[in-house]
Amino acid sequence: MSHGYPLGAFNRFPASVLSRARFIASKRLEGLSLAAILALLNSEEDSREKAAPRAKAASKRAKAKTATSKRAKTKAKATSKRRRG
């Protein structure tokens, strides 16, 4: 993402950085201190880190299941060709 300036210069930042900056700015407007905002950001990161291993394991299970079903389909096709032949 980028934000343009009137003279045509652009600064490029990842979307995650922009959303984090917007989050900080909104919390400052609500009156929170920087220490309180930092605590909120750290707790959010901690919860993401805890969720990541679960998501990775679920992804591995889904890939294994897909691979197994593909092998079964291939095997079934080969068997039916032999029977016809």
% residues pLDDT > 90 (the chain): 26
Q: In terms of pTM, does the model score above 0.85?
A: no
Q: Is the pLDDT of residue 42 over 80?
A: yes
Reported as a single tens digit per residue, the pLDDT across 12-28 is 788 888 889 999 999 99
Largest CA-CA distance found in the chain, in angstroms, rounded: 78
Q: Which residues of 40-52 are buried (b: 16+ CB within 10 A; e: fewer)?
A: eeeeeeeeeeeee
Q: E strand or H helix at 8, and its extent?
A: none
More confident residue, 17 or 75: 17
Residue 64 pLDDT exceeds 60: yes
